[in-house]
Structure 1
Amino acid sequence: MIPVFDGHNDLLLRLLEAPEKRREIWLTGEGRGQLDLPRMRAGGFAGGFFAIYLPSPVAHDDADLMAQMANPPYRLPLPALMDATEAADPALRAASLMLWMERASEGAFRICRSAGEIRAAMAEGVIAGIMHMEGAEAIDADLDALHAFHALGLRSLGPVWSRPTIFGHGVPFAFPSSPDTGPGLTAAGKRLVAECNKLKIMIDLSHLNEKGFDDVAALSDAPLVATHSNAHALCPSSRNLTDRQLNIIRESRGMVGLNYAVSFLTPDGRKDPGCGWAPMLRHLDHLIERLGEDHVGLGSDFDGAEIPDVLGDVAGLQGFIGAMRDHGWGEDLIRKIAHDNWLGVLERTFGA
């Protein structure tokens, strides 16, 4: 079994939406979702980024949005900006739930704040968790809350989750579309990048539009990382990265984690969970060609996306490893993609 370190999941959202079921969801599994502690162990899930993601306060018709995404072309409207005061409470509750996960696991799961802590946890057979914020709505313009969340364990942050923040603009969910969909970082966003660099908080480029991407690339002194994004050349979704962007990430010695969401994998943008392993392997091939084999990993989007049926959930990860072997890759390359490359870029970001 090859351990897998993962760039993105939304388990905290499931816990946030059903806190009364948190023990069942996390410790035993409730027969739903794609992640829980027993299935992580079964699939060789060694650790990853656990996202603090906040649903928009205004309800929308999920069924209608899913129907539109199932039949491209589409361009979905973005929710309105959330104020930091309304975002602070749910973000703090999500962070608190991750701290609870560590306590409730009785040693099976550990929040890690450095690359060295991740390596130590993996060596002990303990699942390593990085606290990540997907969209910086809970961070105020003065960045005081950034320091508070950093003290809680935050080590990775995406300035946006598609909807706008006071820091920048995300891409809409659109197909076909380039990621060049709006203006770049605001003045507050540029201060956020500088402060994240000082605190050694990784900046996640997934969901950020192209001009914002370019602003981060110009300002940041850390490797450029997109935790859960795919190749625009193979699937022209606004959420995917162009070859130009991939070249910039390569030059920074950064990293891209493959997103398993079928609508960002298939060439026609359709939600086809019966697509098999082939689209995932094609995107990995393209990312390796553009970035080099030391800068590509996995970024599942478990519990946040519809994924290929052949994978199913986190327990199916070793099946994906088997598909890589069948694809002709050697063990060294598979280990790089499965976990070594993530550990490398985190050492370059956090320090050893």
Structure 2
Amino acid sequence: MVGGGILGLAVAWELTGRGVAVTVLEKEDRWAAHQTGHNSNVVHAGLYYAPGSAKARMSVTGNRSIVDFARAHGVGVEVCGKLVVATGEDELPALGVLAQRAEANGVPAKLISREEALDYEPEVSCVRALRVESTGIIDFPGVCRALVRLLTEAGADLRLNTPALGIRAGRGVEIATGSEVLRADALVNCAGLHADRIAELAGITPRARIVPFRGEYYQLRPDRRHLVRGLIYPVPDASLPFLGVHLTRMLDGSVHAGPNAVLALRREGYRWRDISPADLVAVARFPGTWRLARRYAFPTGLDEVLRSLSRRRFAASLARLVPAIGPGDIVRHGSGVRAQALFADGSLVSDFLIETAPGQVHVLNAPSPAATCALEIAKHVSDLVTTS
């Protein structure tokens, strides 16, 4: 198993439960170091995804399974629901489509009036809203700590500071880590931001490439947290994989705002100054990057960059949802990087993408809502491993 985020650990736990001996390799010195440890900690309901897609199916079942797992193992979780708000009449058709999609996916949600929305969020601005009851907040790094504890107790071989530097696949798999060569019957690649590169090391030419997008967060100052009681989301742009800047009350009572979405300048580029020339060259050489840019650079991409650079612009996006929020009410609060897979034609991979070869399973696209779906993806991946 390559990758020690929530997905790699969940697959390892599922395989262990099926009697498979598992070794997990993580290149960092801690578990959940990247996507899992830098996301919004939201348990998604399955609202946004195309009916019948893996994301839709696994979100609905994963919402229940991840909440049950957290409660069973003492991990913080709260099913608080959320509001998706139409701030103007022009957003009502898209909100109606979202309500229809919720019904098609089996997501408990209902359209409510402005007055009903104010009962949930007295400071919100909307003409109508969609109330989604099964959305929650959770400690995803805490889920990973629980999985590590369970895997350790079950005798799994868990290795930090152990990158996969070379892979030879044939009859079984050999993985060079720099200090030794490990041998196994099968390889599972859950390397997230580096999933396409691990696939290439294993001799696979992946159908899609990872293009990293950084999402930056602010949080409300403590004396302004009362402006948000729960989770407030805008009506999303259906053509984009990002949900738009939103407000999320966390388990500790803080309120996070974001994320935006800008191209990261390295695979693990959490700041503008995190730059990798090699990563930038790889992005520039991939034809899908330029085709994506022609489609979204103006005005969408430019707006995201300007919002990244301007607290006033970021606050203005939040004020569309909660007008009482101003630039002085927010402070920066870290960022995350989304491993978004992109096809060569410039189209974003909209669903989970998993490719297989004899003795190999490669999870090549598993951004949000993959953390919510982790236990369900683990079952699917484990089926592929044990039946191959």
Q: Same fold (TM over 0.5)?
A: no
Greater fraction of residues in helix: 1
Return the TM-score normalized by structure 1. Answer: 0.30
Greater fraction of residues in strand: 2
Return the TM-score normalized by structure 2. Answer: 0.28
Compare relative contact order (CA 8 Å, sep 6+) and give the higher one, 1 or 2. Answer: 2
